[in-house]
Amino acid sequence: MTTAEPQSLEGIVITAEDPAGLVALTTAKPLDLFTTPGTVESLLAAVRVEALRDFTPDLTTEKGRKAIASRAFWVIRTKTFLDSIGKEEVARLKELPRLVDAGRKALRDGLDALGDEIRKDLTEWENTRAAWKGALDRIQNLPATLFNADASILEREIGTLRDLPTDPEHWEEMAQKAASVKAATLPTLEDMLDKRRRWEADQAELARLREAEEARKKAEQEEALRKEGEARALAAQQAPAPTVATPLPLETADALRRGETVPAFLPAPPPADDLEHRRAFNREALADLIEALVLANIFTPDAEGRQAAETTAKAVLTAIVTSKVRHVRMDY
């Protein structure tokens, strides 16, 4: 390229001899270069003018071909240089929001800390009063909160309230309010405690009476069952033995087949066992049944278990004696 007057465009100097990339920025700002309307178009036109100045392509000689390549390379270098300017500007602009946000955060944090520092004593004063007010509200609500509480809980809360100081040393300007709340709440809780104690005593007495009544009914039922079993056993012992018909003699049977008249049959005579023998027999059977029930682990071998086993054994023996168990009978 031949030396020529440099092209100037809004503070931008374009020259073929520029060692920094053929384009020198004088007073132009990079942001204006890429954002001002028409600047890019004008820049392209200026580069084109410079690139084509005194340019006559000659392909016939090596020198001419090198000149063409040199002009094209100059355009590429110009492109690279201008693009790097834009790239650096974009990077700078992208960094700006982060820098601004960091500055904003530093300002916020610093001013918040300053405000907290200035307000520290007042904040502590307000927090203390809020805590005191919450405590007094809780005391005022104790009657409703402890409406169904046990006597032990009421006693604990009353003790705590009685020990609560209400002097200005603890409550400062709220001391009068604290004393008023305590004086109004304490009698109410004490009255609730008195009523609760009476109610709990009544409930305990009712529970004792219910248990006693249940025990009485159980004893009566067991006694009734025992007497019923004994009565059945005694009735069975005193009942006459069933009659047993004597088998027909062979000649009598033949006579009946022939249609002859035969004498009426008489029942077999009753057993010779007396009543005392039957009682002794039943007692032995009862004792064996009790032992069998205990040995089978149906009842425990202690006094209570043996009593229950005896009740069951009597019921079984009564059923056998009164012929209520099929295929089982007492052989006296």
Please give the model's pTM, rounded to 2 decimal places. 0.44
How far apart (Å, rounded) are the C-alpha atoms in residues 2 and 70? 12
Q: Which among 59, 85, 119 is the end of a domain? A: 119
CA–CA distance, 109 with 172 (Å, rounded to integer): 35
Give the domain-ending residue among 100, 119, 138.
119
Residue 184 lies in a domain: no
Report yes or no on 199 lying in a domain: no
Distances in Å between the Cα of 84 and the Cα atoms of 51, 91, 150 are 20, 10, 84
Asked whether residue 249 is domain-assigned, the answer is no
What does the alpha-carbon distance between residue 239 and residue 328 come to, in Å, rounded to a whole number? 18
Give the SS3 label for residue 60: coil
Q: Residue 225 domain-assigned?
A: no
Final residue before a domain boundary, out of 119, 150, 173: 119
Q: Is residue 247 part of a domain?
A: no
What digits encode the pLDDT tens for the residues 207-235?
999 999 999 999 888 888 888 887 787 77
Would the pLDDT of 197 be above 50?
yes
Per-residue pLDDT, 65: 93
State pLDDT tens for residues 27-41: 467 888 888 888 888
Name the H helices within the chain: 30-35, 39-52, 62-140, 142-145, 151-162, 168-171, 175-238, 250-258, 275-295, 303-321
Number of domains forming the structure of the chain: 2
Residue 21: inside a domain, yes or no?
A: yes
The answer to whether 22 touches 74, Cβ cutoff 8 Å, is yes
316 is a domain residue: yes
177 lies in some domain: no
pLDDT at res. 294: 82
Task: Single out the residue of 180, 177, 129, 139 nearest to residue 161, CA to CA.
Answer: 139
Task: Provide the mean pLDDT of the chain.
Answer: 81
The whole-angstrom separation of Cα 29 and Cα 34 is 9
Query: Residue 25 sits in which domain range?
Result: 7-119
